[in-house]
Structure 1
Amino acid sequence: MKVFTVHEPPAPTEGSARFDRHAFVREGFSWAALFFPFLWLLWHRMWWVLFGWLAVAVATTLIAELIPGTEVAVGIFSVLFTLWFALEANELRRWSLEQKGWRMVGIAAGRDLVEAEQSFFRRQEHARPAAGPARVPSVNAGLAVRTVGVGEPVIGVFPHAN
């Protein structure tokens, strides 16, 4: 069973086309990011992460070329960095989507991406209200509000009501 986080674009359209642009980001290790990190970053248009990855790649190459005797240490670092990147690639993709204004709207699970998409959108259709927009509960819903007079102690940040 594979688990995906579902992200909605910043300005979703109404109607049936509203679900066309959702991004499903898989949890866990990314094999594509392990073997083809540069192409994986280009494919997902993760420009800031790409610049960071290139900076690390160039720095390790320069260190290996300019400082004699560091080839083994740089090689070990490169392998560890590549493994770390493959482990964190999908989390970096979530961060990149968040920076672009996308918001996480749910979680989906399935044997593959298609099954996860079907289960997520099926739940969305069943959760859709029959008429009118969904009512968003207030943050203060269910809380009793009490007016405090001047000089009466207040529990919280301020010692007295003004």
Structure 2
Amino acid sequence: MKVYTVHEPPEGDGDSADRILFVKEGFCWPALFVPMLWLLWHRMWWVLLGWLAISTGLAVLGELVEEVAFIVGVASLLFSFWFALEANVLRRWSLGRKGWRMLGIAAGRDREEAEQSFFRRYLALKVARAPSRSAAPHLPPVPRPAASTTDRPVIGLFPQPE
């Protein structure tokens, strides 16, 4: 069973139901094998800068200090696996920074089944929340009482006129 988080674009982006995004939970294989392309594809600019800084730092450290080259290689490999584990979490973080709102969670054997189960619930909830035509008529607002003509301050909760 695969689990996805469901995200809605920021307000004012047209019909948001067409642009709802499903982000898978768990390990991301493309982020392991082609992390830079994966980050560019998803337009995760801040995460890309962080990834470049760490990767470049590890590469420079491995070249400058040959005594720790093996340790830096292991650290680089561990960083790649850690990044693939956290890639979708970072994607959700990037979406949140761009104003996307998380709608919920969907699960299914594959993405198509998760989408179907989510949209069944989503559309049922939208229909239930829609205002009915038999609702009470809209009443005009109640007018505010006229201001007091006395200049004396009012003391107490229920002042009596004198």
TM-score (norm 2): 0.76
Q: Distance in 2 between matches of 1:48 and 1:9?
A: 19
Are 2:5 and 2:105, in contact at CA under 8 Å, matched by a contact in 1? yes
- After superposition, give the CA deviation of every residue in 1:97-136 in whole Å (9 maximum; x if it has no partner): 0011111011101111111111111111111236439xxx
1:65 matches 2:60: no
Residues 69 and 104 of structure 1, relative CA distance in 2, 3 Å threshold: same
Q: Distance in 2 between matches of 1:66 and 1:122?
A: 57
RMSD: 1.8
1:34 matches 2:32: yes
* Aligned partner (choices 73, 76, 86) of residue 75 of structure 1: 73
Query: Which amino acid is 1:58 matched to?
Result: T
Tell me how far 1:65 sits from its aligned partner: 1.1
Are 2:58 and 2:76, in contact at CA under 8 Å, matched by a contact in 1? yes
- After superposition, give the CA deviation of every residue in 1:35-66 in whole Å (9 maximum; x if it has no partner): 11111111111000000000011101111111
1:10 matches 2:19: no
Are 2:9 and 2:19, in contact at CA under 8 Å, matched by a contact in 1? yes
Indicate the percent of aligned positions where both proteins have the same amino acid.
61
1:132 matches 2:131: yes
In structure 1, stretches of 5+ residues that fail to align are 134-148, 150-162
Q: Distance in 2 between matches of 1:84 and 1:13?
A: 34
* Aligned partner (choices 46, 49, 52) of residue 47 of structure 2: 49
Tell me how far 1:13 sits from its aligned partner: 5.3
SS in 1 for 2:127: coil
Query: Which amino acid is 1:132 matched to?
Result: P
Higher helix share: 2
Query: Which amino acid is 1:26 matched to?
Result: K
Aligned residues: 132
Match of 2:147 in 1: none
Tell me how far 1:12 sits from its aligned partner: 5.2
Q: Distance in 2 between matches of 1:82 and 1:19?
A: 34
Residues 124 and 74 of structure 1, relative CA distance in 2, 3 Å threshold: same
TM-score (norm 1): 0.76
Task: Give the 4+ runs in structure 1 shifted more than 2 A.
Answer: 129-133
Query: Which amino acid is 1:82 matched to?
Result: S
In structure 2, stretches of 5+ residues that fail to align are 133-155, 157-162
| Larger radius of gyration between Structure 1 and Structure 2 | 2
Match of 1:23 in 2: 21
- After superposition, give the CA deviation of every residue in 1:64-109 in whole Å (9 maximum; x if it has no partner): 1111212101100001000100111110001010011111011101
